[in-house]
Structure 1
Amino acid sequence: MSNNEEKPRVETEDDDEPDEWDKRIFSTGCHSEQDKMNDCYFAKKDWRACKDAMEAFRECWKRQGNDQRTETKDA
């Protein structure tokens, strides 16, 4: 592409609206804990370094009754 050619426009989604994933996470009542867990992994790239964040999410999940709602079973 030469300098005089226009780059093709890429349509982007309006990021202000929650998508299906966001809606599902919000419905669990644990979106804050989910964000912290994901942020930890993004920063450290190692789930083992995120045990506290994972445990906080797990406890929230149970406290909100999501085990029964989703039929989650601990291994």
Structure 2
Amino acid sequence: MAGSEKDRQATVQAEDGDDEPDEWDKRIFSTGCSDENTKLNDCFFDKKDWRACKDEMEAFKQCWKRQGNEQRTDAKDA
């Protein structure tokens, strides 16, 4: 079973020898969906097949919408 996001972040930071979140972490946390992102990534890591992670993907998509993140991924005309 996966640990909490806080535990995971501490592990990553300890491995990096750094106690500050990097730019990737900051972007993920700013979405408001870091827990859902972690669960989705953990599912894929465990199962090695995105198709087996449909529930986690749906939870992430719903969080993304709830947090108003659609504009982050909208295509823009040049």
TM-score above 0.5, yes or no? yes
Aligned residue number for residue 29 of structure 1:
32
**1:37/1:50 contact within 8 Å kept:** yes
CA distance in 1, matches of 2:36, 2:44: 12
Q: Structure 1, residues 26-73: CA drift from partner, whole Å, max 9, x if none?
A: 0000000000000000000000000000000000001000002x1436
Aligned residue number for residue 47 of structure 1:
50
Equivalent residues, number: 61
CA distance in 2, matches of 1:13, 1:41: 23
Aligned residue number for residue 17 of structure 2:
14
Pairwise CA RMSD of aligned residues? 1.6
Largest Rg, 1 or 2: 1
Q: Map 1:53-72 to 2 at 5 A.
A: 53-68=56-71, 70-72=72-74
- Which runs of 5 or more residues in structure 1 are unaligned? 1-11
- Deviation, 1:14, is 2.2
What is the percentage of aligned positions where both structures have the same residue?
Answer: 70
- Which runs of 5 or more residues in structure 2 are unaligned? 1-14
TM-score by length of 1: 0.74
**1:66/1:72 contact within 8 Å kept:** no
Q: Which has the higher helix share?
A: 2
